[in-house]
């Protein structure tokens, strides 16, 4: 097995596991908490490490400048920001910070996609 294939296999496993957890939390949050063994009272700390992880990924993208990955990173940010904004708006809570984050991520994604396309085309 080549290293490339091994890395791809680990990525595929990660996608399946994270996708399954996302499905659990979207369809049955209580079951999601139970199966992932997260504790509601510890969620602020979990969010802190998630934000830290995204900041580290962003630093990596600044360092390596790979437009396809940067574009997907901003797409992920848009999904999170817009989804969180919708969740809070539907519940009648302030949502503008989340919604604005999603909109700005979409804008950044578009700019990154243009950079990707023009770089790929030799521009």
pLDDT digits (tens, 9 = 90+) for 45-59: 999 999 999 999 999
Q: What is the pLDDT of residue 46?
A: 94
pTM over 0.75: yes
Cα of first residue to Cα of last residue in the chain, in angstroms, is 37
Compute the distance between CA of residue 123 and CA of residue 116 in angstroms, rounded to an integer: 10
Residue 101: predicted pLDDT: 97
Neighbours of 67 (CB within 10 A): 18
- Give alpha helix (H) positions in the chain: 3-27, 29-36, 43-64, 67-90, 96-120
Identify whether the C-beta of residue 72 lies closer than 8 Å to the C-beta of residue 60: no
CA-closest candidate to residue 33, choices 16, 46, 15, 49: 46
The 10s digit of each residue's pLDDT in 1-46 is: 799 999 999 999 999 999 999 999 999 999 999 999 999 999 999 9
């Amino acid at each position: 097995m080549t290293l490339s294939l091994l890395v791809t296999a680990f990525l595929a496993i990660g996608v399946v596991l994270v996708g399954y957890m996302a499905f659990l939390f979207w369809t049955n949050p209580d079951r999601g908490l139970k199966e992932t063994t997260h504790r509601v009272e510890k969620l602020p700390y979990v969010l802190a490490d998630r934000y830290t992880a995204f900041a580290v990924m962003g630093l990596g993208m600044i360092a390596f400048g790979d437009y396809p990955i940067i574009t997907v990173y901003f797409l992920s940010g848009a999904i999170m920001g817009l989804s969180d904004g919708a969740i809070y708006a539907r519940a009648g809570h302030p949502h503008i910070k989340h919604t604005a984050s999603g909109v700005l991520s979409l804008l950044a994604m578009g700019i990154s996609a243009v950079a990707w396309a023009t770089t790929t085309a030799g521009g």
